[in-house]
A and B are shown apart, each in its own frame.
Chain A
């Protein structure tokens, strides 16, 4: 079974600061990787995903993530955060090519607080 770890539980940044949230996974096979965001009081929304190809993926709202296979990592980045980026961020992974049995495994989440 796969597992996901997010080492940063709570991050506080000032507006315009750069962001990098760590995500590492453990699984013996190939995976699909995702970052989801949950704004206060709202449901989870997909920020970006990696299935194959270019390991640097760009998502919505200026976010990007880089898949480094050798490090089993998929860190999320944004060059300049805004107050509206305050939210909970979840990294998730599912095993590739397992059909309908595939299910997402989530990390514990990172709470990002952006101050003005």
Chain B
């Protein structure tokens, strides 16, 4: 099946700094990528939908200036957490949808654990 990678797998940063997380579709081109946040023992919460070459669509309550998303190519989307604070500590997961399956299946990355100290 399709493979989605994320880098880094975990990161620790100091409060006030910014962190960039990369999401890559390795063997397919993803016109749409999604960014989720998962708190311990909770479900995935969609943060934003990213379409290649256009601005991301953010879910209600997600600060677009804090969580910058860039989908510069068909295989790469990045999430930058700006001026991170301890409450931003979480597990961030990206997923990508294969072309031709609009409304269909998504493939998920392994996630990035962010800890802000």
Contacts and interface: CB of A to CB of B under 8 A. Distances in A.
Interface of A: 32, 34, 36, 42-46, 49, 51, 90, 94-109, 111
Interface of B: 1, 4, 31-32, 34, 41-44, 46, 49, 51, 93, 95, 102-111
A100 B31 contact: yes
A91 B49 CA distance: 20
Contacts, number: 55
Q: Give the most central of B1, B103, B104: most A CB within 10 Å.
A: B103
Contacts of B111: 43
Leading 3 A-B pairs by shortest Cβ distance: A102-B103, A44-B108, A43-B110
Contacts of A98: 103
A103 B105 contact: no
Contacts of B106: 104
A64 B72 CA distance: 38
B3 to A, nearest CB: 10
A11 to B, nearest CB: 14
A42 B110 contact: yes
Nearest to B51: A100
Given A43-B108, A100-B51, A106 B103 contact: no
A106 B102 contact: no
B41 to A, nearest CB: 7
16 contacts: A34-B105, A43-B110, A44-B95, A44-B108, A46-B1, A46-B105, A49-B104, A95-B103, A97-B103, A99-B102, A100-B32, A100-B51, A100-B102, A103-B34, A108-B43, A109-B43
